[in-house]
Amino acid sequence: MIPSRYLTTCDDDNSRVAMILGGDQRPLRGESTILLAPKIKLSSGYEMPVLGFGTYKLRGFQCTSAVHCAVETGFRHFDTAYYYENEKDVGEALRTQIKMGNISRENIFLTTKLWNTHHDPRDVRRICEQQLKLLGFTYIDLYLLHFPVGYKHMCDEILKPMSDGKLQTTNVDYIDTWNAMEELVKLGMVRSIGLSNFNMEQVQRVIQCSSSKPVVNQVEVWPGFLQKDLVDYCRYNGIVVTAYSPFGQPNRENHSPTYFFSEGMKRLVKKYKKTSGQIVLRFLVDYGVVPIPKAANPLHISQNLNIFDFKLDDSDTRALLGIKPKKRIVKYDIVKEHPFYPFERDEESQYQDVNNLQNVPLAREQRETTLNDDDQRGE
C-alpha cells in the first residue's frame, strides 16, 4: 500500500480525493466539483496522481476525444510515448482543455518516453525537443527510458529498423543514455526522469552508475503477474512503480486472463457493486503501484477513475494476491538475445501458487461487469 504520508488528499462527499492545484492557485472553472485521484510524491520532489490515463494505440480523433473525456472526468495524469505516435494528439487535446479554462498546465502530470532508436546520447536532447514541439509544451513532467535495448537509428520515422527479417539493435549502453537524460533535467526540459521495462539488476546498475536515481519504473503489473520482488525493490529505493496492462489485457472470447472472468471475480463484483476493472484498479493502488489503464469508451473512462469511494476487505485483497501466477504478456521476444534484454527467457513464473480467487466467499446479488477490449494495453 502507498504510505499515507505520500498522498495529498482532501475529503469531499465521503470520497478521498486530491485537488491537484499549483501552489495557492484557485480551482479553475468546474474543477471544484470534480473528484481527482490522490497524489504520491516522487523522489524528485514533484507529485504524481496515483492513477493515470494510458493512451497506447489511441490515435487521431479517437485519441483526442478520449483525452478530452478523461480531463473532463477528472484524470490529470496522462501517459504517452514517442513510439505511440500520438504525442501531437495528446498535446492538442490537453492544450485545448487549458484554453477552455478547464485545467492549467501545472495541474497536468504528463509522461512520455524516449524510444529505442534514440539511445545514442547525441540524439537524446534533439528528440526530446521534437517531442516537446509535438506535445506543444515547454516541459515534460516525467520522461522515461522506454526500454533498455537500443535499436539502430535510420530515421526518426522508422521505429523498428529491420534487415533480412531481423530487428537491428545497437550496443549503446543504457547508462550513457540515462546520463544524457539527466542533462534534460538540468536544462529544464523535463522535471523528472525514470525507466520503463527495466529489471531489478538494471535498475540497480542505473542507481550505482549515475548521479540521480530513477523516480519511476514503468512495468507490466496485473493480478497474477504482480512482480513482487521488483516492486518491493523499487519501493525500498524510493522508486514508484507504474503499472501498464493493469487488467492483464482481458479477452472475452477466450476468457483470459482467467481471474478476470472467474466466479470469484463475479462475487467481488456483487459484493462491492463495482466492475471487475474498478476492483482491479483499487487493488493495484492499494498494492502500491500506479496503474495507467487505457480506455476510449466514456463510460469506462469514468469508471476507471471512480475507485476511491470503496476499499477491498483484507480477505479479498489476499485472494487477489493469491491468484495463480501467469506468464508475462509484453515480452519483446524479438530482442531476447540482446545482452540488455530485461525479461526472463524461460517464462517460468517466479511466484508461489497460493489461494485462488475462486475461493472468494459468495456475496450479494449478481451484477454484470462492464469491461471490453478498449481497456487493453501492450507494447
Residues annotated catalytic, as ranges:
84
Burial group, residue 169, by CB count within 10 angstroms (0-12, 13-18, 19+): buried
- Which ranges of 156-224 would DSSP assign to H, the alpha helix? 174-186, 200-208
Inter-helix orientation angle 87-99/60-73, to 10°: 40
77 grid coordinates: 495524469
Return the HEC string of 336-377. Answer: CCCCCCCCCCCCCCCCCCCCCHHHCCCCCCCCCCCCCHHHCC
58 vs 204: CA distance, rounded Å: 33
How far are the Cα atoms of 49, 200, 217 from residue 233, in angstroms, in the given order? 21, 7, 11
The answer to whether the beta carbons of residues 268 and 350 sit under 8 Å apart is no
The helix/strand/coil state of 80 is coil
The answer to whether the beta carbons of residues 103 and 31 sit under 8 Å apart is yes
Burial group, residue 45, by CB count within 10 angstroms (0-12, 13-18, 19+): exposed
**Residue type present at position 377:** R
Contacts of 215 (CB under 8 A, 6+ apart): 42, 43, 44, 46, 142, 192, 193, 194, 239, 240
The DSSP secondary-structure symbol of 333 reads: G
The answer to whether the beta carbons of residues 17 and 9 sit under 8 Å apart is yes
357 vs 367: CA distance, rounded Å: 17
322 grid coordinates: 493469491
Closest CA to 280 of 181, 182, 370, 364: 370
**Residue type present at position 97:** Q
